[in-house]
Structure 1
Amino acid sequence: MDRHRVVVVGYDDAELLDIACVTTTLDSVRVIDAAIGYDLALATPGGRPITCSSGLVLNGQAALERVRGPIGTLVVSGGLGHTGAADDERLVSHVRRLARESERVASLCTGASVLAAAGLLDGKRATTHWHFASQLAARYEKVDVDPRPIWVQDGNVYTAAGVTSALDLSLSFIEADFGPDMARWVSRAMVTYLHRPGNQAQMSMFTAAPAVDHDLVRKVTDHVSERLDADLSTESLAELARVSPRHLTRLFRTHLRQTPGRYVRQARVTAAAQLLTTTDLPVARVAARCGFASAEALRQAFTREYGIAPSQYRSVSSTSG
């Protein structure tokens, strides 16, 4: 028997889909081949039942305080209760302890808050659900928060955007533990596409930075969104704002946590993604409308941002019919 031990940490107001997505995906290995698979356990404070965000109740299978290593994979679920969990010193201390006894450590969605509170993300690149990324970055300044990918690996620590991206992360674990053929079989069993690479973006127009209160920065970002095919160099934007390029960069870093150049590139790629999925425009036309010098320039920028080429993105995401 080739079994891999997985402990999932749950707490009140955890997201049921985070827990179920990873456990169901991993358990599919056992269903396909009974000789291998994962030993799964939900660990909760005191081993008590937890009430998920949906109101459904899950019974704990182990008391978090009594769990001992070695552990193959430690997974911290996300959910609306993540702030309370991150503020619970006992829970955080046990996560920190178990992380030392685990081959790999992972968080789903806002579970990254718990890993961050335990110091497990200090100096590491991490992701979380796009809606909570700025909150995580503001509270834990030692964490390099990237809201774009669906999951991130930094050493033996994995962070995922949550909900369905937990499936992608789980498939990557299956591939590492039992090979690509098993991962493909599980993908078929789950009736899903072959798993997306971690550097693929969360594929949401909502990952764009929210509106900011600073009038000057908002003026510049509005100009960018309305004139993507114009000259949007930092120098040009600074002239529009009547400040120096250095001062504009400082303002963008303060209010948007990125440089003007990075903001422009992301805005252009995001707009291109929207056009690719809602129109039949040729890729070259999409590139021109969004301010790219050529289709190749769009391809390179798009691949860096989403992990796949524009044509492939269109084939799996198009709503234009």
Structure 2
Amino acid sequence: MTRRAIVMVVHDGVRLLDVTAPVEVFTTAAGQGGAYTVSLCSPTGRDVRTSAGTRLGVDAAAHRVREAHTLIVPGSPDLPRRPRPEGLPEAVDALAGRSERVASVCTGAFVLADAGLLDGRRATTHWRHTALLARTFPRVRVEPDAIYVRDGRVLTSAGVSAGLDLSLALVEEDEGSALAREVARDLVVFLQRPGGQSQFSVAARTSRPRRDVLRPVLDAVAADPAGDHSVPAMAGRAGMSTRHLSRLFRERLGGTPAAHVESVRLEAACALLEAGESVTGAAERSGLGSDESLRRVFWRHLGLTPSAYRDRFRTARREPRPPEQDRASRTVRGKGS
């Protein structure tokens, strides 16, 4: 049986889970009959220190790696905005040339982009850095909501734990869905995660510029998402015409007043659901109105229902409540779910 060599190029500052998530998937698959070997290399051959401070041992220097079926480049918190670790771009470029497929986890996409491997291709990265990736590398077609993207022989994944999703997809491609499903069950994760990565980044979408003529308007929306935030009401609050208000929103926030209000209300609804609020209660208190309106907004922005979001992200620990209040709360949740 020919084994596929999975090679990960690690570097100082690498995020530990970016490395260990794929390693766990492929070694678990190998333990259940999958044809894989897994090794770590670094540009110098020396061990590296992760962003968490943990020392990570490597098997070889990158230039000594002779066989790489799949090259995986993990990321680090500093990769997008600081110079790349010494020797890393050259090591990736050399190894990519003799690999059947190349993948990145999280901000490792910036290293692939440096090497030109993403030119003209679709790609993704951690939601915090998708806009920066698109600005820095205009030839890359960035898909900001994707958990992972495959374009030809090159794959990129979203932030951190998305390395699990990418690796499971590769196991399924190589060994079939039955083995991939067993690996997912062993690791207690989704074989295919529902929704996109925007479900993890709600608060990042509602910009609030400082020292700006729009700031009082934006603060009023944030303070009371369920209030009257029609365009005329917001324009009156700002002391300007509706046309001028709309122009300022386009110029400074890149969207319409209505889109901003909806984004803030979505953020508020997410916070309410995370705290254990019912779907009906979240719809009313966030200003989105009805259960149906809430469902439409959630599906359009996050790709999942409010009930699914609540079940996935609500606070695990809650203060005990009197039995009467608990029964009433369960009744409301049953009507709104």
Alignment of 1:85-124 (within 5 A): 87=84, 90-122=87-119
**Which piece of structure 1 moves more, 127-136 or 293-302?**
127-136
Residues 219, 109 of structure 1: alpha-carbon distance in 2 compared, 3 angstrom cutoff: farther
Question: What letter matches 1:65 in structure 2?
Answer: H
Alignment-derived partner of residue 17 in structure 1:
17
Q: What is residue 329 of structure 2 aligned with on the other side?
A: none
Q: 1:118 to 1:300 in 2, by over 3 A?
A: farther
How high is the TM-score relative to the length of structure 1? 0.79
2:220 corresponds to which residue? Answer: 223
**Number of the residue aligned with 2:31:** 31
Question: How big is the alpha-carbon RMSD for the aligned residues of Structure 1 and Structure 2?
Answer: 3.4
The amino acid across from 1:107 in the alignment is S
Deviates more, 1:49-58 or 1:232-241: 232-241
Tell me the amino acid that sits aligned with residue 160 of structure 1.
S
1:63 and 1:229 map into 2 onto residues whose CA distance is: 58
Offset of residue 168 of structure 1: 2.6
Q: 1:54 aligns with which of 30, 49, 52?
A: 52
For residue 216 of structure 1, what is the amino acid of its counterpart?
A: V
Q: How does 1:119-198 map to 2 (within 5 A)?
A: 119-122=116-119, 126-133=123-130, 135-136=132-133, 139-143=136-140, 148-149=145-146, 151-156=147-152, 157-197=154-194
**CA 1:217 to 1:191, structure 2 compared with 1: closer, same or farther past 3 Å?**
same
Task: Describe the superposition over 1:141-200 as per-residue Cα deviations: whole angstroms up to 9, x where unpaired.
Answer: 555556555x23152443333332322332232233323322221122113354414624
Q: Which residue of 2 aligns with 1:249?
A: 250
C-alpha distance in structure 2 between counterparts of 1:75 and 1:218, whole Å: 43
1:1-55 deviation per Cα after TM superposition (whole angstroms, max 9, x unaligned): 263332211111111221111111221111122xx23222212103222222233
* Unmatched tracts of structure 1, length 5 or more: none
- Matched to 1:252, the amino acid is L
SS at match of 2:166: helix
Match of 2:333 in 1: none
Shift of residue 239, structure 1, vs aligned partner:
5.7
Partner of 2:7: 7
Do the aligned partners of residues 178 and 304 (structure 1) sit closer, same or farther apart at CA in structure 2, a change above 3 Å counting?
farther
8 A Cα contact 2:203 2:267, kept in partner: no
Flag the 1:83–1:204 CA change in 2: closer, same or farther, 3 A.
closer
Mapped to 2, the partners of 1:55 and 1:38 lie a distance apart of 29
**Which residue of the other structure, out of 294, 310, 316, is the alignment partner of 2:312?**
316
Q: 1:246 to 1:173 in 2, by over 3 A?
A: same
Corresponding residue SS for 2:111:
helix
Measure the CA separation in 2 of the matches of 1:21 and 1:121. Answer: 23
Structure 1 equivalent of residue 269 of structure 2: 272
The structure with more radius of gyration: 2
Q: Secondary structure at the match of 2:293?
A: helix
Query: Which has the larger displacement, 223-232 or 79-88?
Result: 79-88
Residue 131 and residue 305 in structure 1: after superposition, are their counterparts in 2 closer, same or farther (change >3 A)?
same
TM-fit CA distance, 1:206: 4.6
> Given the superposition, is the C-alpha separation of residues 61 and 107 from structure 1 closer, same or farther in structure 2, using an over 3 Å criterion?
same
Check 1:90–1:56 CA distance in 2 against 1; reply closer, same or farther (3 A cut). Answer: closer
Aligned amino acid, residue 44 of structure 1: S
Q: Is the CA contact (8 Å cut-off) linking 2:104 and 2:112 kept in structure 1?
A: yes
Distance 1:161 1:227 in 2: 33
Return closer, same or farther for 1:126/1:215 CA change in 2, 3 Å cut-off: farther
Identify the range of structure 1 (18-27 vs 132-141) with the bigger mean alpha-carbon deviation: 132-141
SS of 1:167's partner is helix
Seen in structure 2, the aligned counterparts of structure 1 residues 280 and 51 have a Cα distance that, compared at 3 Å, is: closer
Q: After superposing the two structures, state which structure 1 stretch, 132-141 or 49-58, moved more.
A: 132-141
Alpha-carbon distance in structure 2 between the residues aligned to 1:252 and 1:115 = 30
Q: What percentage of aligned pairs have identical amino acids?
A: 38
Residues 133 and 147, structure 1, Cα contact 8 Å, conserved in 2 = yes
